[in-house]
Chain A
Amino acid sequence: MASKKKDIVQVKNPRSGHYVKIDRTEGRILAHKKSAGPYANIPVARKRKAS
């Protein structure tokens, strides 16, 4: 059975300085990285403010 491809990205929380993994497909915050640096193999989402 084919699984639905997840759109998972990460962003850096400026308050903690740690990266947060987000599942855009489900709109869920998946995990908070405990150590420094980004998650491997997860794209960093760029900030984009609508105008």
Chain B
Amino acid sequence: MIVYRPTDGDAHTVPIATRCRTCFLMTQLGEPIPDGLQGIRDRVEAVFVAEGFDVIDADSITTGRDFLHKIWEIIASVPVGIAIVPEGAKPTTLANIFYEVGLMQALGKETLVVKAPKATVPSDFVRTEYVVANAWLEKKLKAFAVSLHEREMHYGHVGSLVENNPLLALDYFRRAYLLSGDATWREQAAAVLEASDLSERATDSVEMILASFTRETN
């Protein structure tokens, strides 16, 4: 898969290290924090940490580079994104959150929107899974986290079924690998790579960048 950098529109030709089993929180980080946001955030983090995920946001990582590029690179490296939409958020904040949700969906990531009871979700996202931050939030979040295992197995399964199309297979194995960090998916992807002609390609080729996760070590 060719990924284009939002900052200059050029294809990205450097491998992006994976952050397996990591959940990227998309929400307002700057002051003033809307009422109730920290509480929702704490509840989301508690569930995902209990399910064995690392939880990060845009402030968790310092690169010294462009902020948008950093967010884009984080999104490309993780399997899951959770957007938290607080009540009374500024339009500019909502625009940022949903830009990131759209970016995650375009890159094949799992997304979930958690919204405050009175917050509204833009119409383009009506098909995006969302949960309301009410008394059942923990239960719904846990169900979503558990469903990610099913998705992992599905992606790995599809990867094995499309092995005659190595690029597609590698991408599906990568998605499965990101969700669990299970080296089995990496090994299956490496086997597909080995059996194809792709392993002879240049290290900065689209194919080898996609396959770079097969060379990672736990």
Q: Determine if A13 and B154 form an interchain contact, defined as CB atoms under 8 angstroms apart.
A: yes
Question: Does chain A have a CB within 8 A of B157?
Answer: yes
Which residue on B lies nearest to A12, using beta carbons? B154
Question: Does chain B have a CB within 8 A of A28?
Answer: yes
Cα of A31 to Cα of B157 in the assembled complex, Å: 16
Q: Determine if B156 and A28 form an interchain contact, defined as CB atoms under 8 angstroms apart.
A: no
Shortest Cβ distance from residue B187 to the other chain A in the assembled complex, whole angstroms: 7
Tell me which of A15, A25, A27, A47 contacts B168 (CB under 8 A).
A27
Question: Does chain B have a CB within 8 A of A42?
Answer: no
0/1 string, A28-51, CB within 8 A of B gives 1: 110000000000000001011111
Tell me whether A50 and B188 are in contact in the complex, defined as CB-CB below 8 angstroms, given that A13-B154, A15-B151 are known contacts.
yes
Q: Is the interface of B mostly helix, strand, loop or mixed?
A: helix
Question: Does chain A have a CB within 8 A of B45?
Answer: no
Which residue on A lies nearest to B160, using beta carbons? A48
Q: Determine if B184 and A22 form an interchain contact, defined as CB atoms under 8 angstroms apart.
A: no
Cα of A14 to Cα of B188 in the assembled complex, Å: 21
Question: Does chain A have a CB within 8 A of B7?
Answer: no
Cα of A5 to Cα of B158 in the assembled complex, Å: 20
Determine the chain A residues whose CB is within 8 A of the CB of B157 once the complex forms. Answer: 11, 45, 47-49
A interface residue numbers (CB < 8 A to B)? 9, 11-15, 20, 22, 24-29, 45, 47-51
B interface residue numbers (CB < 8 A to A)? 147, 150-151, 153-154, 156-158, 160-166, 168-169, 184, 187-188
Known: A9-B161, A47-B153, A49-B184. 16 other contacts (CB 8 A): A11-B161, A12-B154, A14-B150, A15-B151, A20-B158, A24-B161, A24-B163, A27-B161, A27-B162, A27-B169, A28-B165, A28-B168, A29-B158, A45-B157, A50-B184, A51-B184
- A-B contacts, 13 of them at CB < 8 A, read A11-B154, A11-B157, A12-B154, A20-B158, A24-B164, A27-B161, A27-B164, A28-B165, A29-B162, A45-B161, A48-B157, A49-B156, A50-B160
